[in-house]
Structures are given as structure tokens and as C-alpha cells.
Amino acid sequence: MIKEKELINQIADILEEEKADDITILDVSDVTIIADCFIIASGRSVIHVKSIAEKIEKKMRDQGIIPNRKEGQRENKWVVLDFSSVILHILRYEEREYYELENLWGDAKEIYVKH
């Protein structure tokens, strides 16, 4: 089984490879019980969001890591891949700006930010 830190790093690497923008990793372990880490990234369009999500899901699946839950893949404006302790949010810029997830989880510690 892959360790959480390794999973976070692999997802971040894929996000960078796929040209996701505004990659932010939050340690939410002290503010919620639903996960230890949120990874938030932006895509430029629904096609870009879909492409990023599919690439991450494929690369994780190749290692035997399957998300417990997937949401948003019908419209691809905001896709969520739930890997238990790590939850990945991939949003179009418009949704990211509107929902301001980083502010919603304002007490979380930022452990990585790449713009």
C-alpha cells in the first residue's frame, strides 16, 4: 500500500505534468475528519479538467489505487477524486473563484502552493 505522503507527491507531479494551475495542498487533519489532505488544482476548461482527472485516475489505477468515490465527471467543472485520506479537487477557474475552497478551510495549514 502506498503511503499518504507518496500519494500526495505523485498526484502533485501528475498535476504539474498535465499543466494544472494554482496547485495547493492543504493539511486538513486538524479541521475535519473527512480527510487528512486536500489537493486543489485548476484547469482552464472542462476538457482540461476532465483530462487531468482521467490521467490521475489512470496512473493511480495502474498502481492498484482506486478512488473510493468520484464526483463531477458528468459536467467536468469540478471533479473530486476521493482517495480516503487524500481528496483531490480539480476545478475550472470560475468554480475555484466562486467556491474559494482555500478560504472555506482557512484554518488548514498550506503545505504546498504552486501558481
* 21-57 per-position pLDDT tens digit: 999 999 999 999 999 999 999 999 999 999 999 999 9
Rounded distance, CA 4 to CA 104, Å?
Answer: 23
User: Which alpha helices (H) appear in 63-110, and where do they start and end?
Assistant: 93-99, 101-104
Domain around 78: 4-110
Q: Which residue has the higher pLDDT, 1 or 56?
A: 56
Please give the DSSP secondary-structure letter assigned to residue 68. S
Evaluate whether residue 54 is within a structural domain: yes
Contact assessment for residue 79 and residue 49, using Cβ atoms and an 8 Å cutoff: yes
Question: Does some domain include residue 45?
Answer: yes
Would you call 36 exposed, middle or buried from its count of C-beta atoms within 10 A (0-12, 13-18, 19+)?
Answer: middle
User: Which pTM does this prediction carry?
Assistant: 0.94
How many domains are contained in the chain?
Answer: 1
Q: What is the CATH number of the domain that holds 60?
A: 3.30.460.10
Q: How far is CA 2 from the centre of its chain?
A: 17
Residue 42, in any domain of the structure: yes
In a domain, 94, yes or no: yes
Is 115 within a domain?
no
Asked if residue 11 is part of any domain, the answer here is yes
